[in-house]
Amino acid sequence: MKLRMERHGPGQCIPFRRHDTLGEEKHPIDEQSLGQSKKPGRGNLFRFIYDRRPVKITVREKNGGGVKDRYGGVTGVFVLEGELLVPSSSSPKHSTVLVFMHPAASMNMLSMPVGLARAGVHVLLCSSRYAGNDSALIMEKCVKDLGVFVAHAKETLGYKKVVLGGWSGGGSLSVFYQSQATAASHQRIQVPVDLSSVKLPRADGLLVLAAHASRARILTECLDPSIFLFSKSTHHEENKRLEQYDLYSKSAPKAPYAHSFLRSFRQAQIDRSLRITKWAREQVKRDNGGACFVVEGTMADPRWLDPSIDPNDRDRSRPWCYLGDPCTANNMPTGLARFSSAASWLSQFSYHDTNADAVSHIRCVEEHLPCLFLENGADDGCPTTHPRDVFRACVSRDKTYVRIPKARHYYDGQPEKLKEAVRVVMSWLVDRDFVDIAMPGEAPKKPPNLSLQTMRTEFDGSRAMQITGINHLALVSSDMERTCRFYGQVLGLRLSKTIALPGGGQHFFFELLDGNSLAFFFFPDSRAPNPGISAPSQQQMLAEGKHPSAMGSMNHVAFNVPLGKLTEYRKRIKGSNLSGYVSPIVYHADVEAGYVFDENDERVSWKSCYFFDPDGVLLELTCQTKQHTKENVEEHVSHVPLKALWRSQL
């Protein structure tokens, strides 16, 4: 398949309301960067809010598979952590999750996966056991960690399909993983870690997004060849012979560099990598794989000084790389591979010994595996040759290559480029039936199924089951004694039945005057409430006067009371110490705001008072002042139901 470059025009993007995701106040994807409209709709790409759910998986690793990790605490036991981003709407047809993992970094706040979640895709962000510290990182163990998350996504979280999201350094890891998951047990990598018997469920699709071919290759292309081994403070004679390769010295050749110099320079980089590799091999041979060392000079790629090398849309006005000024990054404390161990070097950074090379492993994936490769046109961290080489080597018959012109590695300060990239991924997912989201601007495939006339004539109750009322509504209490005091004393309901449940639980019933009941469970192992999700938030009610809750939740319970008793009962509840919030009386009316201030307004349908019980359940006392009968159905049934943003519902 030929290398195919596509230009995808950015779409309009309008924000949605602020949500409660902590730590995102300054995220690149926010209301200010996306526009000013307050009404999400079908024309918007980032139209979903989403929930962040922590994922923690305890792993008990036996024998380490050939390389033993050393941790404080219980030997062989560690916890993998991640976050599941769940959008505010779910397709009834599909169940796909994108799984992102970087070998050494957390991806929880990166703009690409966050953008995909806000476009409506479920995203699982995974951290390997080495997140935040790659000094002892073993790539084969990252493959094992990714396998744990993929299995968790399918077996515990219930997703039917998994698409690997290989972004930046996670690209080669994702390709490595899929290659091993596809291979027969006897064909898998067995040194330095034996993967032959490791559970590695296959993914159903592969994204390679602004990704390096391997950590070893990107490091080798950045190694400073003017350093003989680890540092300029040793091997003085050897270092002196290599001074001609010091790009940052006053006597260094200036860009643009001659081809002969670049050939010699690249070979000197490989030679330095091999010297470190030989030292590391000797340490491992002596059973000293944990031997640590500092590597000076790790950002000396001529590309960042000479934009004519592997040219793209990156800044040509100054030397620059994804870590800033390359001269400074060459020896900055947090530079690439600055501190390493012998075994880790061989696994992730050795040009000659690493197993984690995407160009090699992409040749081993299934021919039918859908693969998307995305190149950022102004990438200052991933050279153009890397994704193109991996794409050319890919054996899949369903492979696509897309270039986003002028997009930088992190899309920093480029919300429009981020939208363009997310749109590419979304279109690819939709076209392959991974997700069922209607793309912005997509016209409905058929007219709405329901009309006002249909609703008025068919939903008239003539075919109703003989449902005579609600027998009981069951809620959950955290303290049954306190619940009894509130509903039995403050509201004055009759406690009609108590039941003891196996395991120490209880089930109590309070009878209403119409013979129906309000019931409560007490479970000793119930989880804590999640205000704003499991039920309305009292804090949001106080601050904004709003009471949203998650789909599928019970939002509130409304009790009928006589009109003349509403004020009296409100005072009784407000005078107790068991409700944290009691609203003024609200006059609901058929107006744009939903309420009026004049209780005598003829448009008023309900008069209500809202309050919370001791466990945060939102309750309502209401008097219905207007009846909605069949005779006035045209007045009261006047809105066509809104649809979800999913293709199967268009």
Give yes or no: residues 323 and 423 share one domain: no
Give yes or no: residues 462 and 542 share one domain: yes
Residue 526 within a domain: yes
* pLDDT at 39 (0 to 100): 45
Using CA atoms, how far residue 213 sits from 130, 171, 274, in Å, is 20, 7, 19
Q: Is 570 helix (H, G, I), strand (E, B) or coil?
A: helix
pLDDT at 553 over 80: yes
Give yes or no: residues 248 and 103 share one domain: no
* pLDDT at 187 (0 to 100): 96
Position 527 confidence tier, pLDDT thresholds 50, 70, 90 = confident
Q: Which of 45, 92, 385 is nearest to 218 (CA)?
A: 385
Return d(Cα 242, Cα 248) in angstroms, integer: 13
Return d(Cα 485, Cα 344) in angstroms, integer: 62
The stretch 46-68 carries a mean pLDDT of: 84
Return d(Cα 108, Cα 112) in angstroms, integer: 10
Looking at the chain, the number of H-run helices and the number of E-run strands are 17, 19
The pLDDT tens digits for 26-41 are 455 554 444 333 444 4
Give yes or no: residues 475 and 614 share one domain: yes
Give the rounded percent of residues in the chain with a pLDDT score beyond 70: 88
Position 43 confidence tier, pLDDT thresholds 50, 70, 90 = low
Give yes or no: residues 209 and 230 share one domain: no
The pLDDT tens digits for 105-134 are 999 989 999 999 999 999 999 999 999 999
Residue 649 within a domain: no
Residue 355 within a domain: no
Using CA atoms, how far residue 313 sits from 3, 384, 480, in Å, is 18, 10, 65
Give yes or no: residues 405 and 486 share one domain: no
Give yes or no: residues 568 and 581 share one domain: yes
Is the Cβ–Cβ distance between 230 and 294 less than 8 Å?
Answer: yes
Residue 177 within a domain: no
Give yes or no: residues 167 and 231 share one domain: no
Note the pTM of the prediction, 2 decimals.
0.82
Is the Cβ–Cβ distance between 115 and 407 less than 8 Å?
Answer: no
Token duo for residue 463: 């075919």
Give yes or no: residues 133 and 232 share one domain: no
Q: Is 184 helix (H, G, I), strand (E, B) or coil?
A: coil
Bridge partner list, 587: 596, 607
Residue 16 within a domain: no
Give yes or no: residues 400 and 466 share one domain: no
* pLDDT at 4 (0 to 100): 35
* pLDDT at 438 (0 to 100): 77
Last-in-domain residue among 310, 327, 343 = 343
Give the rounded percent of residues in the chain with a pLDDT score beyond 90: 64
Structural domain of residue 371, as residue ranges?
31-138+153-171+205-214+367-431
Lowest mean pLDDT among 154-163, 187-196, 626-635: 626-635
Residue 392 within a domain: yes
The stretch 64-89 carries a mean pLDDT of: 78
Residue 411 within a domain: yes
* pLDDT at 17 (0 to 100): 31
Position 441 confidence tier, pLDDT thresholds 50, 70, 90 = confident
* Max CA distance (Å), the chain: 101
Give yes or no: residues 167 and 300 share one domain: no
Give yes or no: residues 630 and 595 share one domain: yes
The CATH number of whichever domain residue 411 belongs to comes to: 3.40.50.1820
The pLDDT tens digits for 289-318 are 999 999 999 999 999 999 999 999 998 889
Q: Which residue, chain included where needed, has tokens 């509504």? A: 473
Q: How many domains does the chain have?
A: 3
CA 172 to chain centre: 19
Residue 157 DSSP symbol: S
Last-in-domain residue among 414, 431, 448 = 431
The pLDDT mean for the chain works out to: 87
The stretch 404-413 carries a mean pLDDT of: 94
Last-in-domain residue among 413, 431, 449 = 431
Q: Strand 205-209 vs strand 161-167: parallel, antiparallel, or unpaired?
A: parallel
Return d(Cα 324, Cα 560) in angstroms, integer: 65
Burial class (CB in 10 A: 0-12, 13-18, 19+), 9: exposed
**DSSP assignments along 508-554, one per residue:** EEEE-TTS-EEEEEE-TTPPPP-BTTTB--HHHHHHHS-----TTS-
